[in-house]
Amino acid sequence: MKNYQTSQIRNIGVVAHGGAGKTSLVEAMLFNTGAISRLGRVEDGTTTSDYHPEEINRQVTIHTSLVPCEWQNHKLNLLDTPGYSDFIGEVYGVLRVVETALFVVSAVDGVQVQTEVIWDLLKDNQSRLIFINKMDRENANFFKVLDDLQAKFNANFAPVQLPIGQANNFTGIVDLIEQKAYSFENGKTKEIDVPSELASEISSYREKLIEAAVEADDELMMKYLEGEELSGEEIKQGLQKGVSTGKVVPILCGSATKNMGITSLMDFLVVNCPAPPVQEGAPFSGLVFKTLADPYVGKMNFIRVFSGTLKSDTVVLNSTREKMEKIGQILYVRGKNSIPTTEVPTGDIAVLVKLQDTSTGDTLCDKDHPVKLEGINFPEPTLTVAIQPKSKGDEDKLGDALSKLLEEDPTVRVEKNTETKQTLLTGMGELHLDILLERLKRKYGVDVSMDSPKVPYRETIRAEVKVEGKHKKQTGGRGQYGHVWLRLEPLADAPFEFTEEIFGGAVPKQYIPAVEKGVREAMQEGVLAGYPVTGVKVVLYDGSFHPVDSSELAFKIAASMAFKKGQQQAKPVLLEPIMEVEVTVPESFMGDIISDFNTKRGRILGMEAAGKNSRVRALVPLAEMYRYAIDLKSMTQGRGSFRMSFYSYEEVPARLAEEIIKKAKEAAEAEK
């Protein structure tokens, strides 16, 4: 692959709802450029961009693939992204490094959820265009999709093509700019006469196209308003300006699997989509937007060069981590295939291998001219499961494998919960978690089982009590003697407080720290269900000692005994973590969200507008929230999002507390 000037490069994120045909479209583009000799099929697992085992098995895109192709002396850096919400993080990375988003919309299914979600992620001035795919399929309807787009998005849509026929009768397109018609037969494009039956539609939509084109150019707008006839070149000029600034959204159509209308789309991308901007004389800077762990090549960092030139055998600064990195081999990749290069110009995208300290979101730059580029705000994962290796000796192996997963995927979180003694894995959804577990087994040889996370309950007291603890042991020689009186009080605004009110040396000062230590140790395991105790004030107010037999250990044991006995007498109750939850959804789903929170023992705090959506805040027990990512997706068809944070601990209702305590006791018995 030859090196191209920045002006000849087009960076295009290919985005869509799953199943709209992105991968097939990219495959057809590659075929038309001669990069591949035959069209691969998603169903056969033979496409260039879906080459990972999990993608071939499931017939869906899971990883973004960089698939450059050369057309009309330009380089199209196509980035084929996943279309399922569980992998939306990949789309966030791509949209940060491309100038243009190419939306693929099914002519049969119309605008689907992920199309709406991704649309909202784009910046207002970001170039975007629509390719209505599957025009050859049964029930395909170009004009219905057009109405759907205009109903759902506030955008200046401009069809630049009209289909000749639809579904089984789809045979070609009319180019509204050139006012020419083309038919597609056996993968070949042939100019034909403009069908007379489309004359009125062509006239109407061409007028709309001209109106859209002049909106981006004041000079053309004046000519148009004064009634002057615009030339084809002037329309192209206005359209190009409008597309580059995001003010006009052109619409094209065709069939990826039948390779119909694809070369017209490629021509349009070259002529109308913006090249990367250039800062003359600026030193090198680039952003890593994806990381892959390849079993043969090692760690691969996908980088977009934003200024200057990236060269091999140089030392650069990772300004995000303040570490130096040696640039070794640089690769241009196409799917799983790669060819080495020695330099990458401004605007181009390449892969760096075996960097030591660099991962997704990091800036690499000239070490003498430090700069930090805007990073990538990846979405927070929301579905948590507990995992453990099936083989006893695989704990260390699992830890290493999880750290590699974290390097590859910024939408994964791993936490070792010391209270519940569980390893918690959080991802974007069920499919995401399934694939992570599959990858652990296939790539790293760790087979794990999945379970529900345990709720980190707490125990506390509701009454004040005075209680005695005495530890006395005589077994020949020096004995053990510790004796305390403790007062236990409920404490509302802190987890624990320890004070003493000893008079006359009833308990010598050197033993008081041991009393506190004994209490703290006893608080680790409450009397109801073995959960940690919180919200208790303990006062040491009396006791006694033996001049020979007393020791720190004896007082620690006496204090522990007293606390456990006191907790039983002080009306112990079970507490559960309450989360503050914020859900953002279209207004039409608010009723469902609120009624669902009512079934989850939630308390609504308030509602407000959030752009074109609505936001509701509520307090909900954590026990009810572990599967909420799945519930929300089901209620809103994937249009909702949420985040939550810890709010407080509150008492568990008596009926539920009985069940929790019973289960805890059964589990404790089973472990004995």
- pLDDT class of 57 with cuts at 50, 70, 90: confident
Mean pLDDT across 246-273: 96
Confidence of residue 26 (pLDDT cuts 50, 70, 90): very high
Say which CATH superfamily domain 383-451 falls into: Elongation Factor G (Translational Gtpase), domain 3 (3.30.70.870)
Residue predicted with more confidence, 484 or 665: 484
How would residue 491 be classed by pLDDT, with cut points 50, 70 and 90? very high
Superfamily of chain region 9-272 = P-loop containing nucleotide triphosphate hydrolases (3.40.50.300)
Which pLDDT score is estimated for 391? 87
For residue 81, what are the CA distances in angstroms to 28, 261, 333, 341, 648?
A: 16, 21, 15, 25, 40
CATH architecture of 459-570: 2-Layer Sandwich (3.30)
Model confidence at 263, pLDDT cuts 50, 70, 90, reads very high
Q: pLDDT at residue 58 above 90? A: no
User: What are the E-state strand segments in 235-329?
Assistant: 249-253, 285-294, 298-307, 310-311, 314-318, 323-327
Q: Which residues of 134-171 are buried (b: 16+ CB within 10 A; e: fewer)?
A: bbbbeebbbeebbebbeeebeebbbbbbbbbbbbeebb
Average pLDDT over residues 277-281: 91
> What's the confidence (pLDDT) of residue 49?
79
- 3-state DSSP assignment of residue 569: helix
Where does the pLDDT of residue 315 fall: very low under 50, low under 70, confident under 90, or very high at 90 and above?
Answer: very high
Q: pTM here? A: 0.89
pLDDT band at 28 (very low <50, low <70, confident <90, very high): very high
Return the CATH number of 574-655, one of 3.40.50.300, 3.90.550.10, 3.30.70.240, 3.40.190.10.
3.30.70.240
Q: For position 476, what pLDDT does the model report?
A: 66
pLDDT at 89 (0 to 100): 95
The superfamily CATH assigns to domain 285-365 is Translation factors (2.40.30.10)
- Tokens representing 394 are 């695989």
Q: What are the backbone dihedrals phi and psi of residue 498, each rounded to the nearest 5 degrees, phi first?
A: -125, 130
Report the 10 Å Cβ neighbour count for 126. Answer: 16
Write out pLDDT tens, residues 428-487.
999 999 999 999 998 889 999 999 999 999 999 999 999 999 999 876 667 899 999 999
pLDDT at 672: 65
> CB-based contacts of 523: which residues, under 8 Å, 6+ apart?
496, 532, 533, 534, 536, 563
Instruction: Note the pLDDT tens digit of each residue in 614-625.
Output: 999 999 999 999
Reported as a pLDDT band with limits 50, 70 and 90, residue 154 is: confident
Indicate left, alpha or beta for 498 from its phi (over 0: left) and psi (-120 to 50: alpha). Answer: beta
Q: What is the pLDDT of residue 473?
A: 87
Read off the pLDDT band of 47 (50, 70, 90): confident
Domain extents in the chain? 9-272, 285-365, 383-451, 459-570, 574-655
Give the count of alpha carbons within 13 A of 364, CB side only: 28
Which of the four pLDDT bands, split at 50, 70 and 90, describes residue 42?
confident
Domain pair 9-272 / 459-570, same fold: no
Residue 423 has pLDDT above 90, yes or no: yes
CB atoms within 10 A of CB 240: 18
Residues 6+ apart with CB under 8 A from 414: 402, 405, 406, 423, 424, 425, 426
Q: How high is the pLDDT of residue 484?
A: 95
Confidence (pLDDT) at 93:
97
Of 291-295, 328-332, 548-552, the poorest mean pLDDT is in 291-295
Mean pLDDT computed over 108-135: 95
Q: Average pLDDT over the chain, rounded to whole?
A: 93
pLDDT at 352: 97
